[in-house]
Structure 1
């Protein structure tokens, strides 16, 4: 949900045209002696991350002479629709790097093959349990987690020290106090609020609720707990030292710029921005960046876990699925994930991948703690990832003062009811 990837028109064309689902042109699809060729659609950053994945493919092919991998980089913001179109016409790639929010829906549509008991999920006890949960649908696992992320409270230690604090706030009330002091004693704002639905989730989790109750089939976005959560969010904007709500199209970039240049002391952000943050003027000394669990509410703390899975196309023949499973197992192993972390600065999904070298990367040890303390799996309903849009639209109106909290959340619930007809 977080990184669009630039690509040329040629790459986009290849993303649709190059497939390996057992057609006549694929060696090994009819019992020939040549290697089986599988296709992988990768949705990572084409400039910074893709070259490192290509190097790993070469490593895999050297160790597995009977398998060849055709690599295609597909822009993240186009991949979901492209794969659904290709899978519906039986022409999808053998392996797809999918956002965790896509997996259950594609499993429900029977686009993906279950991976339980295959080479794709060897030593699954090493994988963070919440990440496995997000890759499951109706008791079966349809994705092997390859990278993960969540949200953390990121803070400028120097600015907080000037304001008289040497630790990050642990509650929203504490954050208000810190923000007021920062604004009074420095030239910076204390906190910048991101209105996006994904970034508003910690407020809900802090009151012990969610957008929906997937197990109980209930819409909870307008529950009393949710109302309290968004009232807390709204109250922050009225607190001294908190930046004015930015509803412009470039609000995300504005937030990042303010934080990296030292104009704001605290933001809620994910590890995908760590590389860019450390390049900022305020964090040339990496030790100046603090990372902590997002502040909590009356029921505790929590932030949504994101990331990506590698999934196998159900429409491929047996030979291609077996080869794809082996490739997925290699790419998501602890050893490979450690290499990916060191090259791409992405968080691993296996405990064994957090080697001493990986933990030494700026921010990584702290993010591992944040994930363990506050990471929360999203709801298991296949439609869950589509719920953020209506949530954000209506919460933005609330934060702008256009509607009351209950009315805004009731409107979100009404939109959910049209999508989730079997929910009460």
Structure 2
């Protein structure tokens, strides 16, 4: 009996060893190494083809190799359109990468379908990132990725100080009324044709973001309580849309002559045909490098009311970890390495992007290195996540189409907004 008992104990020990070995080959095969072991690990990281992003990512990999020499990161770069398609096709297969660079608007859909590995310390990550930036990476109380840049397209504008001086304007507008008055003084015409736009808010992004911001700055929201439907039938929404229409039809500080052409408002600005143009801070680098223009700066846009200048913003680019990864812990450790203040700051400076990391944005040294973006950085605390758009392109097109139809007298503000509201809500319901 003793011999039999000994054999049973030995057999149980062998089974426990086998089971332990099997558990290390599951979804978290590299977890023990990711936690500090020296077992070789290879992580595949997919990114889109953005030159500054790619170079900054390569530098991060070099720095990480010094910390975790056992981890090899295979950076795979794809053209933007092919990248989007490749993610859609591969995320539910064994060919999925370990880490993917995703735009915040995409993340919820992949999380909803169980294709992403949530962060183990989501609450800690939330505390480090601005709400507007982390919003798109959250789903049902969990964090599924980390944004590294803040996709802010409003709250500030490109402007030419020289044009201000020539018009006798010696200070930035402090109220919305002063903004309109300044725009009128800056607008130049040749007969009925505008030759220099005083204030241009006519890009597809600006129309939407400022429409939403002007609603919010009146103290209301454009979503219902559970963010399943939009409300554009409120008096505040109608007033916001009318204000944007009035820039063209009443104040006549801009026009829609470039609508539907490849010439974006920021391009018009860098040709000297606008004095102030709302645009994201990414256009600053475009002005310096692509257009070789240096004599402009970036100014804050005042609130539409006496309430804070809150605004809606999309989550920017960040990293997510695939559920298919065999090394989820090791993958998340690399993503968290990117979030360390010194690494995040270096990445933002190399890519000329606005920090999603609060500590980086609030560090005086960051603004010393990137003084031009001061207006954008100071606006970050007022950012609110734009919400679950479901189909971003559809959402934006519905609002832009409505804006153009109102300007061209094809519909009223009330009727146009009601149609946009109905169309968007049908889309949102279909996507739920």
TM-score when normalising by structure 2: 0.80
**Aligned match of 1:226:** 237
Pairing partner for 1:376 from 381, 384, 398 = 384
Pairing partner for 2:331 from 317, 324, 328 = 324
| Residue correspondence of structure 1 range 188-337 to structure 2 within 5 A | 188-197=196-205, 199-208=207-216, 209=220, 211-213=222-224, 215=226, 217-240=228-251, 242-245=253-256, 246-252=258-264, 255-279=265-289, 283-285=293-295, 288-293=296-301, 295-297=303-305, 301-306=309-314, 307-317=316-326, 320-337=327-344
Secondary structure at the counterpart of residue 171 of structure 2:
coil
Cα offset for 1:179?
1.9
2:169 is the alignment partner of 1:158: no
Gaps of 5+ in 1: 1-21
Contact 1:146 1:332 in 2 (8 A): yes
| Residue correspondence of structure 1 range 18-167 to structure 2 within 5 A | 35-43=40-48, 45=50, 47-117=51-121, 124-150=126-152, 151=154, 152-167=156-171
Contact 1:214 1:379 in 2 (8 A): no
Larger Rg: 2
Cα offset for 1:62?
2.6
Contact 2:187 2:275 in 1 (8 A): no
Secondary structure at the counterpart of residue 364 of structure 1:
helix
Q: How many residue pairs are counted as aligned between the two chains?
A: 391
Contact 2:111 2:144 in 1 (8 A): yes
Contact 1:202 1:296 in 2 (8 A): no
Gaps of 5+ in 2: 1-23
**Aligned match of 2:404:** 396
Question: Could you tell me how far apart the structure 1 residues matched to 2:378 and 2:31 are?
Answer: 46
Question: Could you tell me how far apart the structure 1 residues matched to 2:114 and 2:41 are?
Answer: 23
Cα offset for 1:276?
1.6
Cα offset for 1:97?
1.3
Contact 1:214 1:380 in 2 (8 A): no
Cα offset for 1:391?
2.2
Pairing partner for 1:174 from 174, 178, 189 = 178
Identify which range, 138-147 or 28-37, moves more after superposition. 28-37
Cα offset for 1:217?
3.5
Secondary structure at the counterpart of residue 103 of structure 1:
helix
**Aligned match of 1:15:** none
Cα offset for 1:310?
1.0
Contact 2:47 2:100 in 1 (8 A): yes
Distance change (3 Å), C-alpha of 1:98 and 1:50: same
TM-score when normalising by structure 1: 0.81
Contact 1:97 1:308 in 2 (8 A): yes
Contact 1:104 1:381 in 2 (8 A): no
**Aligned match of 2:5:** none
Secondary structure at the counterpart of residue 257 of structure 1:
helix
2:366 is the alignment partner of 1:350: no
